Amino acid sequence: MTDTFTGTFTQQEPIPDDAIERAVEIMRSGRLHRYNTGPGETSETALLEQEYAAYMGVDYCLAVTSGGYALTTALRAFGLQPGEAVLTNGFTLAPVPGSIAGAGGHPVLVEVTEDLVIDLDDLRKKIKTSKARVLMLSHMRGHIADMDALMATCNEAGVAVIEDCAHTMGAEWAGVKSGLHGIAACYSTQTYKHMNSGEGGFLVSEDAELMARATILSGSYMLYGRHLASPPEEVFLKIRLETPNCSGRLDNLRAAILRPQLKLLDENCRRWNEQYDAMASELSYVPYVRLPHRPDKEQFVASSFQFNVPTFTPDQIDKLLKTTLARGVELKWFGADEPVAFTSRHDSWTYAGNQSLPKTDEVLSTLIDMRLPLTFSLDDCHLIGRIIRECVLAARN
């Protein structure tokens, strides 16, 4: 008998009951806008920022409409100039180079390794040739580069690092939370991320002037004093009239949904990693399958699963995807010629111009990707792993 998985790869866990109750209270109050507070009230959004700053161990946190908005705002607050080069991974999701273009910059793509992290040798070359002042480092799909070596390279070259932590909320490198290595970090609370408000995001930093600019950019008007995790007023007084309002505020409804989820984040990270381990136990010894190496210093959060089938032809990969789908397992392929849903390859970002990334192309040509929602049980993960294993062997023969 051929086993089939009957679950869905897009079904998330329900929003916690206390979050729903608080959201209903907010809706009944009518005070959804973050600055629409009554006398003596503190907005739900300001409380969320304070709590996320405490979780991260930083002074400043800004809640915004999306992770992509946080990325663009970080670049603008950094002082990116029109047409300026910004380094970023050749393997990432489209909102990362999109945020660079949205801030007026030009993405300069850096090769990635077979372990799906930025290639430090190519980064050193691109720093010299591009003269870029900033690296937007994408921890794509939760894979974290050697942050000690990367920061040494960037610090020596005078390159600022803005971290895209959309896939590493709750992760660490050598005991340091992901996002605390560079000058700023951006997080997403879109439905498929580690906390779910549909859309939303955070920008965190210890740079007071950068965060003051980001707060004005986000649409604070002159109400920045209502924030609990923002720089002191004297910093705002220097920049408030020269910084444009590019409204992207998080609202109190989504903040109410997120606050209880923050309390569950570390436990949920543990659960995701149990799922990853279950999948890896089924696929780590399978012929034709290569799993990315995870260094001991990388305390990752695995809300998705990736593997390569290095010797597979495009026809064999197509067969693999069709046979797994017929058995209820939805896989994505990063080597497809055309973008599919959320999955795109760097050569489809034509606004970035033609850039040669032969190493990245080779990696992506056989890279398979799969979501791991927490609605999966560990038995589900083992079943999915067995189905993939059987379909890999069938597609190769």
Domain 264-396 CATH superfamily: Aspartate Aminotransferase, domain 1 (3.90.1150.10)
Give residue limits of the domains in the chain: 17-259, 264-396
* Per-residue pLDDT, 397: 79
Model-level pTM greater than 0.75? yes
DSSP helix/strand/coil, 173: strand
Element (H, E) at 60: strand 60-64
Contact assessment for residue 334 and residue 116, using Cβ atoms and an 8 Å cutoff: no
What confidence tens digit (pLDDT) does each residue in 261-307 have? 999 999 999 999 999 999 999 999 999 999 999 999 999 999 999 99
Query: What residues contact residue 265 under an 8 Å CB cut-off, 6+ apart?
Result: 55, 169, 170, 194, 195
Tell me the C-alpha distance between 51 and 32, whole Å.
Answer: 19
Q: Tell which residue, 26, 56, 53, 46, has the closest CA to residue 257.
A: 26
DSSP string spanning 297-364?
TEE---SEEEEE-TT--HHHHHHHHHHHHHTT---EETT-SS-BTTB--GGG-GGG-----HHHHHHH
Q: What is the dihedral of CA 351, 357, 362, 367, to 10 degrees?
A: -40
* Per-residue pLDDT, 396: 85
* Per-residue pLDDT, 52: 98
Name the CATH topology of 17-259.
Aspartate Aminotransferase; domain 2 (3.40.640)
| Average pLDDT along the chain, 397 residues, taken 10 residues at a time | 89 96 96 94 97 98 98 98 97 96 97 98 98 98 98 98 98 98 98 97 98 98 96 97 97 98 98 97 95 96 96 96 97 90 89 95 97 97 98 92
Contact assessment for residue 19 and residue 240, using Cβ atoms and an 8 Å cutoff: no
Contact assessment for residue 137 and residue 109, using Cβ atoms and an 8 Å cutoff: no
